[in-house]
Amino acid sequence: MTILVTGGAGFIGANFVLDWIAGSSEPVVNLDKLTYAGNLQTLSSLEGDERHIFVHGDIGDTDLVQRLLREHQPRAIVNFAAESHVDRSIHGPEDFIETNIVGTFRLLEAVRAYWGALPEQQRGAFRFLHVSTDEVYGSLSADEPAFTETHPYQPNSPYSASKAASDHLVRSYHHTYGLPVLTTNCSNNYGPFHFPEKLIPLMIVNALAGKALPVYGDGQQIRDWLYVKDHCSAIRRVLEAGQVGEVYNVGGWNEKPNLDIVHRVCALLDELRPRPDGMRYAEQIAYVTDRPGHDRRYAIDARKLERELGWKPAETFETGIRKTVEWYLSNQDWVDNVQSGGYRAWVEKNYGGRSA
């Protein structure tokens, strides 16, 4: 038995692959295009491990995906591959349309053909799990209840609109063709190996470098935060026990304004790596012009996943954010390489001569 993971060199996908290999003997084929967000150094601990088969390629490359499906005969696919950064989608939406919509469509088409030709028993057991986001539901006012799985889709950024489109395609492949799909819509993740363009790692990295900590607008945008390992455990649970065709919201029950997050990170750094001049890291906070169309509040109601599949996050925000800050403090090399592009040179050296 084998699973195919797409986007497994990115933040959540790589955490998922590492956890999977640590807890299972089942091999993972990892298909990743290695955009700026993909980083094979994150997976370097798996070098030489035959259970991890890395393939450099695009989910939109139908010939490649068909070949992988034929060769490896996966029993499931977990689709993480995406362009994932809202700000980048505002500056240039095209890649988001290409990967999140067209890429997902092509992947679904290849999978549909493969699944349709499987023997009946394997066809019944097959799963296509699509990893999505709470951002597809739009923005909540302060007193509205959290997003449930039946909340109307109201995406507000090119990123969330492209993810919404992919969710719809996945849903339609179940409804129309019977493809056994599962969809998870998760809140903001944080944790190890997070690319330092996103809020929490950016604050840690900038704080340590003595740079400004840019906070959008008034910093009162509320997000629900989930430790990445908890997201990975939720996906494993949905994969093993989710009802085909169903959607599961995944969240950490940790609604917090961005400014509180930044202050918490600063306080942890004050404790764990105090500034040599005795000043507090919070003094580096700088308010900057808000993101256009910035959603005010997301909140996830994750009760369905708890009620039906017995999943709950293991970390509180306090335990998760401490682990995260400690991880960044002890893995400065990873950050330096990501920032310097050194990891790309490493990838070229390590993988340049290998064929997909």
Ligand X SMILES: NC(=O)c1ccc[n+]([C@@H]2O[C@H](COP(=O)([O-])OP(=O)(O)OC[C@H]3O[C@@H](n4cnc5c(N)ncnc54)[C@H](O)[C@@H]3O)[C@@H](O)[C@H]2O)c1
Verify whether residue 134 is a known catalytic residue.
yes
- Of 281 and 317, the one with the shorter C-beta distance to ligand X is 317
**Cβ neighbours for 121, distance < 8 A, ≥ 6 positions apart:** none
- Of 34 and 281, the one with the shorter C-beta distance to ligand X is 34
- Of 86 and 179, the one with the shorter C-beta distance to ligand X is 86
Site for ligand X in 180-219 (CB under 6 A): 186, 188-189, 195
- Of 64 and 267, the one with the shorter C-beta distance to ligand X is 64
How far apart (Å, rounded) are the C-alpha atoms in residues 31 and 65? 9
Site for ligand X in 147-176 (CB under 6 A): 163
Residue 230, interface with ligand X (CB under 6 A)?
A: no
How far apart (Å, rounded) are the C-alpha atoms in residues 114 and 192? 35
- What end-to-end distance do the CA atoms of the chain give, in Å? 20
CB of 223 to ligand X, least distance (A): 9
Residue 138, interface with ligand X (CB under 6 A)?
A: no
- Of 198 and 284, the one with the shorter C-beta distance to ligand X is 198
Q: Is residue 219 within 8 Å of 262, Cβ to Cβ? A: yes
Among 11, 126, 248, 328, binds ligand X (CB under 6 A): 11
113: tokens are 């053909």
Residue 315, interface with ligand X (CB under 6 A)?
A: no
How far apart (Å, rounded) are the C-alpha atoms in residues 118 and 40? 32
Residue 13, interface with ligand X (CB under 6 A)?
A: yes
Measuring CA to CA, which residue among 114, 129, 137 is closest to residue 174?
129
Verify whether residue 143 is a known catalytic residue.
no
Question: Binders of ligand X: how many residues, by CB under 6 A?
Answer: 32
Residue 187, amino acid: S
269: tokens are 């750094």
Q: Is residue 314 within 8 Å of 233, Cβ to Cβ? A: yes
Residue 324, interface with ligand X (CB under 6 A)?
A: no
Among 3, 4, 5, 10, binds ligand X (CB under 6 A): 10
For residue 14, how far is the Cα from the chain centroid? Answer: 9
Residue 65, interface with ligand X (CB under 6 A)?
A: no
Among 34, 46, 76, 129, binds ligand X (CB under 6 A): 34
Residue 41, interface with ligand X (CB under 6 A)?
A: no
How far apart (Å, rounded) are the C-alpha atoms in residues 54 and 18? 13
Q: Is residue 9 within 8 Å of 30, Cβ to Cβ? A: yes
Q: Which residue is nearest to ligand X (CB)?
A: 10
Residue 308, Cβ density class (10 Å: 0-12 exposed, 13-18 middle, ≥19 buried): middle
CB of 154 to ligand X, least distance (A): 17
- Which whole-number Å values give the CA distances from 336 to 40, 41, 100, 254, in the listed order? 14, 12, 29, 30
Task: Determine the interface stretch with ligand X among 6-14, 45-53, 270-278, 294-302 (rule: CB under 6 A).
Answer: 6-14
Residue 232, Cβ density class (10 Å: 0-12 exposed, 13-18 middle, ≥19 buried): buried
Among 18, 68, 76, 84, binds ligand X (CB under 6 A): 84
Contact residues for ligand X, defined by CB under 6 A: 6-7, 9-13, 31-35, 37-38, 58-60, 80-84, 99, 103, 131-133, 163, 186, 188-189, 195
Q: Catalytic site residues?
A: 134-135, 159
